[in-house]
A and B are shown apart, each in its own frame.
Chain A
Amino acid sequence: MRVGLFVTCLVDLMRPGIGFAAIKLLEAAGCEVFVPQSQTCCGQPAYNSGDRASAQALARKLLGEFEACDHVVAPSGSCAGMIRTHYPDLFADQPAELERVQRLCARTYELCDFLVNVAQLKSIKEKSIKTITYHDSCCGLRELGVKSQPRALLAMVQGLSVTEMPEAEVCCGFGGTFAVKFGEISTRLADNKCGAIAATGAEAVVLGDLGCMLNIEGRLRRRGDMKTQVLHIAEVLAGTE
């Protein structure tokens, strides 16, 4: 099974370790991982800011890069959601490309969703970390239905306990450019999230999207919490945390 890894621009820039963790997990699940070198961004920032033409150009580029793969996997609910949920809208008035886009969409997955439902990963080795809480990122949860998959994967890790935080499904306040444009509101939402995380007493908050990670970690540190780790689920599962 040839899997194209869409690393996502934020992982590429900010936390490359997540990309390698994803490769490790996909290979452990028996996939042949292919990483197109020319990949950049899925176009979501442009799409959500109203710049349809730029979004379309980037979508077209991604389509060319990944079309040859059996599956496309991204360690991000937000980028996988952009491809699967919103690419068809971008090409709604271009029937010739729409068909190609739809074929790609049907083969595109968020990492956990893919590991559980397609690759059917069965076992994960013991990890050093013991107590975590899980934040459900908005796009993964509400666009792709990623809720039970990460928990199923975490449940395979021996000796790891997951304590659910209150309002795990409420937005952390990132929202892409929203976090900069409406910094004060965004910070308040992040602060609420940090409070919910602290209430669980977990060593780490684990999640599946880099935007939320930067936002939550940034706020935790500013609040003076240098201890609570903020980990991508791929890092936890691959033991690279």
Chain B
Amino acid sequence: MQITSMHFKARAGKKLADVKLQAALRKLQSNFVKGRADRILELDNFEDIRAAAAAIRDRALASLDVWLEEFERNATARGAVVHWAETTEEANRIVCELAAKYDVRKAVKSKSMVSEECALNDALEAAGVEVVETDLGEYILQLAHEAPSHIVAPVVHKSRDEVSDLFEEKHKLPRKTGIPDLCREAREMLRPHFLSADMGISGANFIIAETGSTLIVTNEGNGRMVTTLPRVHVAITGIEKVVPTLEDVTTLLRLLPRHGTGQSITNYVSLTTGVKGDGDLDGPQHFHIILIDAGRTKLIGSDMQAMLRCIRCGACMNHCPVYQNVGGHAYGWVYPGPMGSILTPIYAGLENALDLPNASTLCNQCGVVCPVKIPLPDLMRKLREKQFERGLKPWPERFGLALWGWAARRPVLYAALSMMGVRLLAWMGGAAKLIHNLPFGGGWSGGRDLPAPQGKTFRELYRQHKRIDRINRTQQD
């Protein structure tokens, strides 16, 4: 997917002014934020489960190579073929080669954010394969030629009215307005595609080493059709998704739906193990699993490794005050919100996403809600440090901070400068004691006044008080 993260600030400004988007984003808070809060109450040992989940992810990452090889062994034993892709381009090439090998004309897809990383649809279409997204949200986006704005609810930025208009235009059927009617219409459009597709492409929420299975959680049932109806099933996912055992997965599944969609469990939890066997009623004849690195191994052993624990629930963005107000498109790549502000600079290049690690107040709401305890604000801060070390910070910021840091280490000078500074600000505040325009601080005063200081610093006043105290005491003596 084309990266446009350099334009975060400008885009965010537009998104703040987009009334329709603002209304759409409010759904997040009422559905997902409240949903998570309610659902975690069902678990009486929630914090223990959360700690266990983080430990399971850490254990998998600590011996990633071992678990991946075990996964490959067990998947292969059940008739699947495992492919290793170092880059997204390589992954696309493998899928296109498979499409050619099996004479694939049409592929149906269930939702996969890794395939968005790869821009797989473009690659397949260029190779002459028709691609149909079957997740309702992704289907809508494909019709509208838009990118997802959320990793769990990709079309959260659109209102029902917009979907009605889109369906009417693209399907050329009478306009529907009710959600059940819209869903039925989409289902009727998709059904022939499921039946005529040669290849089904899915992602994987987890891959399980001990059984060689891929697992997806879905709510619409399209995932089951994609993974069982077509002759060929291709599962495409990141290498970090491996977990050692089925038992481990059950722990993670207690948290993923609760944090993702505010559900105790999703409508479907589908484990796919091997190809269609003798006597099986359904299942693919060919099952290919593509495991993608695309920057992930670089994180192993680095100070950013904790990010690989991520189970893609979306809770960090649902709870992020910045995401809640600008939506996902402002972030400019596949992954938005706090997790995206870390993954985008890592996978797509620090210099291609300069704003993102800084586009957070570090309020730590994301860190508090993360089901696998990723210290997201700490990781954003580490990226800021890398920007600073590589001289990627804008010069006014570098200069301002250097000056501040230099003066703050020299108390006498600092006292003199601050005494002058507060007098100037107090004067600027005038009778109303409010500064409406800050030179060099337009970012602040564009939308806010600055309450003017009292005019003397605390330390100045404190010295005066002490002096008066001393005089009083001497007089009393």
Contact = CB atoms under 8 A, between A and B. Distances in A.
A41 B384 contact: no
A49 B384 contact: yes
Given A175-B361, A185-B16, A50 B444 contact: no
Contacts of B170: none
Contacts of A41: 404, 408
Contact of A189 (B321, B402, B441, B449): B321
A38 B413 CA distance: 10
Nearest to B441: A180
Contact of B454 (A16, A58, A186): A16
Contacts of B418: 12-13
B359 to A, nearest CB: 6
Interface stretch (B241-249, B275-283, B385-393): B385-393
Interface residues of A, number: 67
Contacts of A143: 364
B334 interface: no
A130 to B, nearest CB: 23
B362 interface: yes
Interface stretch (B65-73, B206-214, B456-464): B456-464
Given A185-B325, A190-B447, A15 B454 contact: yes
Contacts of B359: 178, 182, 185
Contacts of B443: 179-183, 186
Contacts of B325: 185, 188-189, 192
A221 interface: yes
Give the one of A11, A16, A177 with max B CB within 10 A.
A16
Contacts of A38: 411
B368 A14 contact: no
Interface of B: 9, 12-13, 16, 321-322, 325-326, 355, 358-365, 367-368, 378, 381, 383-389, 393, 397, 401-402, 404-405, 407-409, 411, 414, 418, 421-422, 434, 441-444, 446-451, 453-454, 456-463, 465
Where chain A touches its partner, the secondary structure class is: helix
Given A51-B401, A180-B441, A40 B414 contact: yes
30 contacts: A12-B459, A14-B451, A20-B458, A20-B462, A41-B404, A45-B401, A50-B393, A57-B409, A142-B363, A142-B364, A171-B321, A175-B361, A177-B358, A180-B441, A180-B443, A181-B443, A183-B446, A184-B12, A184-B13, A185-B16, A189-B321, A190-B448, A192-B321, A215-B448, A217-B451, A218-B450, A218-B451, A221-B448, A221-B451, A222-B447
B385 A52 contact: yes
Given A138-B363, A142-B364, A171-B361, A221 B449 contact: yes
A7 interface: yes
Contact of A50 (B385, B407, B457, B463): B385
Nearest to A178: B361
Counting from the closest, the 4 A-B pairs by CB-CB distance are: A175-B361, A187-B447, A183-B443, A50-B388
Nearest to B421: A13
A180 B361 contact: no
A19 interface: yes
Interface string A152-185: 0000000000000000011101111111111111
Interface of A: 7, 9, 11-17, 19-20, 35, 37-41, 43, 45-52, 54, 57-58, 61, 89, 138-139, 142-143, 169-171, 173-192, 213-215, 217-219, 221-222, 230
Give the one of B363, B365, B458 with max A CB within 10 A.
B458
A175 B363 contact: yes
Contacts of B404: 41, 45-46
Nearest to A216: B448
Nearest to A41: B408
B49 to A, nearest CB: 20
